[in-house]
Amino acid sequence: MFVHQRQGSLEVICGPMFSGKSEELIRRIKRAIIAKQKVQVFKPALDDRYDASAIASHSQRKHEAIPVKNTEELLRHLDPEAQVVALDEAQFLDEGLIPIIEELANRGVRVIAGGLDQDSNGEPFGIMPILLAKAEYVTKLQAICMVCGALAGRTQRMVHTGGQVLVGAAEAYEARCRHCHETPHATGPRMLDGE
């Protein structure tokens, strides 16, 4: 699917929870390692659900990663010799990541970022919309709706707590399709102008 290029690029893997984003990120990391490329992997320190120092999928596939609290910490750990930089759960990182990614890609580095494109209210999540707009390659994965079995592009929060960020897994979230997804502030379908 992706041809190795000399010029840098940004690849974004997005979708709801349980769609296989971390599995796909780990697969691409392993392929880059097989190709004998110098790879560096980062994850937000906030996400310690399965492992504090590894990207971990819900199916327990793992790859070691450097946990960072913010982009300043990421910059301190960044290896100038890295040919591939991978980031998991990019929606949790701050906007300072955007110029870093731009600089890396412009310098010839392949950057691969995975994350949720929407929060549990179905709204754009963190810096993901900007990364999607700037990416050369976008892979949007689907899960299976836990209500009706259709393809799911949204994440349903099953526990009622405030705030956009609640780090959790199957105990707190389900994958849902557009029609089965519910939000606390939903008021029914919106009509377009003229309807």
CA distance 120 to 10: 25
CA distance 95 to 183: 26
Task: Tell me the per-residue pLDDT of 29-69, one tens digit each, with 9 for 90 and over.
Answer: 999 999 999 999 999 998 877 677 888 876 778 899 999 99
**Cα 173 to the center of its chain, rounded Å:** 16
Task: State the pLDDT at residue 3.
Answer: 52
Task: State the pLDDT at residue 158.
Answer: 77
Residue 190 in this model has a pLDDT that exceeds 60? no
Contact (Cβ atoms closer than 8 angstroms) between residue 116 and residue 128: yes
Q: Which residue ranges are tagged as binding site?
A: 15-22, 88-91, 145, 148, 177, 180
CA distance 61 to 71: 25
Residue 180 in this model has a pLDDT that exceeds 90? yes
- Counting other chains too, the contacts that 168-173 makes at CB distance below 8 Å and 24 or more residues apart are 168/49, 169/17, 169/49, 169/50, 169/58, 170/18, 170/58, 173/17, 173/18, 173/120
Looking at per-residue pLDDT, the higher value among 90 and 165 belongs to 90
Q: Which residue ranges are tagged as binding site for Zn(2+)?
A: 145, 148, 177, 180
Residues listed for the chain: 195
Question: Where along the chain do its domains lie?
Answer: 9-142
What's the first-to-final CA gap in the chain, in angstroms? 42
Q: Which CATH superfamily is domain 9-142 in?
A: P-loop containing nucleotide triphosphate hydrolases (3.40.50.300)
Contact (Cβ atoms closer than 8 angstroms) between residue 121 and residue 185: yes
| pLDDT tier at 187, thresholds 50, 70, 90 | very low
Instruction: For the beta carbon of residue 23, count every other beta carbon within 10 angstroms.
Output: 18
Task: State the pLDDT at residue 191.
Answer: 35
Give me the residue label for tokens 């991978």: 86
Active site residues: 89
Query: What percentage of the chain reaches a pLDDT higher than 70?
Result: 83
Q: Which residue ranges are tagged as binding site for ATP?
A: 15-22, 88-91
Instruction: For the beta carbon of residue 107, count every other beta carbon within 10 angstroms.
Output: 10
pTM to 2 decimal places: 0.85
Contact (Cβ atoms closer than 8 angstroms) between residue 11 and residue 135: yes
Structural tokens at position 37: 């490329």
Task: Tell me the per-residue pLDDT of 107-134, one tens digit each, with 9 for 90 and over.
Answer: 999 999 999 999 999 999 999 999 999 9
The mean predicted confidence, pLDDT, of the chain is 87
For 155, what's the count of Cα atoms within 13 Å in the CB-facing half-sphere?
Answer: 28
Angle at 132 between CA 87 and CA 58, to 5 degrees: 45
Task: State the pLDDT at residue 67.
Answer: 96
